[in-house]
Amino acid sequence: MKNKEFSAHRPQHIVAKIVCLLLAVIIWLYVMYVEAPLYEQVFEDVVVTVKASEGTPWQIDDPTISVRVRGTKMELATYNAENVVAYILPSDYPDAQPLDSTGFYAFPVRFQLPGALSVKGDYTITVRNLKEAPLS
């Protein structure tokens, strides 16, 4: 008699477990993809280039920087420093801050990032104007 009672309640327990599992998966998907919490990660050794025509008088002394990037956990796991395009524009010269009278300037760095990644903060890089400060 006990076996019949046990087997009669058994399908109800299985249905309840399946419903709980489905609800857990739905809530997890909602949190991961709809709410999508943002995380931060530092990408080391991002190469900064000069985006200009040939014969530009600008030279970057140390062309690598570390960049703090914000995005979802999945995006940060997918991309790395090689996917980040960092550059300066010589047209930013009027906005560049002269560091001293020897031809060194602090240029703002611009970024092109894959996906929905974003850069946290503003970055500058030291650039030398070869017309004002030729290489020795």
Per-residue pLDDT at 68: 92
Q: Where are the alpha helices (DSSP H) in 30-128?
A: 73-78
C-alpha angle with apex 108: 117 to 90, nearest 5 degrees?
Answer: 115
Looking at residue 96, what DSSP letter applies?
P
Q: How confident is the model at residue 24 (pLDDT cuts 50, 70, 90)?
A: very high
Q: Give the model confidence (pLDDT) of 49-100 as tens digits.
A: 888 756 566 777 788 889 999 988 888 888 888 888 998 887 776 666 677 6
Q: Give the model confidence (pLDDT) of 1-10 as tens digits.
A: 555 555 555 6
Sheet order of strands, 104-108 included:
58-60, 124-129, 104-108, 97-98
Q: What is the mean pLDDT of the chain?
A: 78
CA dist 112 and 123 (Å) reads 13
Asked if pLDDT for residue 135 goes beyond 60, the answer is: no
